[in-house]
Amino acid sequence: MKKAKLILDRDYIVSAVDPRIYGSFVEHLGRCVYTGIYEPGHPLADESGFRRDVLELVKKLGVPIVRYPGGNYVSGFRWEDAIGPKENRPRRLDLAWKTTETNEVGIHEFCEWARKAGSDVMYAVNLGTRGPEDARNLVEYANHPGGSFWSDLRKRNGAADPFGIKLWCLGNEMDGPWQMGSKTAYEYGRVANEAAKMMKWTDDSIEVVACGSSSTTMKTFGEWEYTVLSECYENVDYVSLHRYYGNPHNDTPDFLASTMDLEDFIRTVAAICDAVKGRKHASKQVNLSLDEWNVWYHSHEQDEQLHKREPWGTALPLLEDVYNFEDALLVGLMLITILKNADRVKVACMAQLVNVIAPIMTRPGGGAWAQTIYWPLLHASTMGRGISLKTVLTSEKTDTKHYNDVPVVDAAAVQAKDGTVTVFAVNRDLEEPAELTLDLRSFGLAAPKKHIVLHHDNVNAVNTEDRPEEVKPVEVPCRLEDGKLILPAASWNVIRF
């Protein structure tokens, strides 16, 4: 039996949890939009063509904000292509994913879908092939009440009221050579600054996110953030972080230790923000938007073949990772890491929402089901709102191929408005259960009300349309003896007091 101890006190807090950390992402990529959220001919489609079964699964997740419309896609996107009568909208080649975009869904349709899902929209502007002028026109189109060219055009296109989009991304992954119109840090920093200024002059209630590095693995990581922020610090509110992990060599302990890298990534970018703040003698703090995160590797090979077979198709099954049980554990660990850093991470978007590296899968004309990774996200989103508590955690440690001193147990805790304390904990050990001693100090030694466990004996188990509940959480009896609770081997746990 492994051992760990968690101390919580109502006076030790990290920060209020910004609900936007449970955000998601919908890109015009693969089947995320077409046959994902939108499939007019489907038996469950509503009057606008949105799949009701998908909306139900999204609503259960409680997704506060959805990033849209990309991703790599946005860096070549002309937003005006996707407004006005559908029959007049051009079909365009999307160079990011080598597909053809029909533009059937654009800002009007997506904002309608988001309203039905109960989500706000986080809109990314194209700073790849376009620039500040198009970005400020789009803000005017979306948010200005009326009486100007773009806002009146919106009205003529059927939206009398502004969409009221409050959070905007200044492009996407502009450091990546795979991006249309990629830039050096200095070039991007200048453009981002000018775009941010003009967008905020159009609507001073918005917040904007500058692009940070697309991964910790980029050679320019660190230098990129410093240079970009040196150019635009005064006019931006957040800097983005993107991070995907994978287990291509089937080394589960090393895979489950990947959040050591995520922790470092977050703390390093926060430190760089503060270094720029110091150098500029600024009082404002720039926070972090982890606006793409997930596991992504299962579909790489399949996508290569698909691109060779079917270039320029529409709604191709791209990036359709089928997630297994160990992926759900890593997603749980990523959520724990985000919660522990709630003082700096104010927005986070699991990439993506439907079909494309997603917690929800659909079959065209068929069913919709929850992948394994749906469950930790659902738990954190529905039970992890309130105050993120400091977790003073001691745990046995192990070494893996790429990481040293990896705690066997990792945990985060949140106190909700009604006083309920929820602990999210993962036992990384694949063989042995862990005994977690809970010292709740000022909370008193209350008995847990609920203990939910996500576990499967096979780390490769997956959910499919035929077996949608192969991996699903179960409630177990709350056994707390001498303040000790047992976390099964390889398990995601939600413990509520």
Residues that bind ligand AHR (CB under 6 A): 27, 70-72, 172-173, 214, 292, 351-352
CA distances from 453 to 18, 214, 328, 331, 338 (A): 25, 33, 12, 14, 20
CB 470 within 8 A of CB 462: yes
* CA 67 from centre of chain: 8
Considering the complex, state which of residue 176 and residue 222 has its C-beta at the smaller distance from ligand AHR: 176
Residues 43 and 40: their CA atoms lie apart, in Å, by: 8
Least Cβ distance, residue 70 to ligand AHR (angstroms):
5
Nearest approach in angstroms of CB 390 to ligand AHR is 32
**Helix or strand (DSSP H, E) at 496:** strand 491-496
Whose Cβ is closer to ligand AHR: residue 26's or residue 421's? 26
CB of 74: closest distance to ligand AHR in angstroms? 8
Residue closer to ligand AHR, measured from CB, 70 or 132: 70
Q: What is the dihedral of CA 347, 350, 351, 353, to 10 degrees?
A: -120
Q: Which C-beta is closer to ligand AHR: that of 71 or that of 332?
A: 71
- The catalytically annotated residue of 101, 109, 173, 435 is 173
Contact between residue 378 and residue 24 where contact means Cβ atoms under 8 Å apart: no
Instruction: Kindly state the tokens that stand for 226.
Output: 């410093």
The least CB distance from residue 163 to ligand AHR, in Å, is: 22
Q: What single DSSP character describes residue 20? A: G
Instruction: Decide if 173 is catalytic.
Output: yes
Q: How far is the CB of 136 from ligand AHR (least distance, A)?
A: 23
Q: Are 30 and 21 in contact (CB under 8 A)?
A: no
Q: Which residue is nearest to ligand AHR (CB)?
A: 71
Nearer to ligand AHR, 208 or 319 (CB): 319
Angle, alpha carbons 158-163-168 (nearest 5°): 135
Question: For the chain, how long is the longest CA-to-CA vector?
Answer: 69
Catalytic residue among 231, 292, 326, 435: 292
Active-site residues: which are they?
A: 173, 292
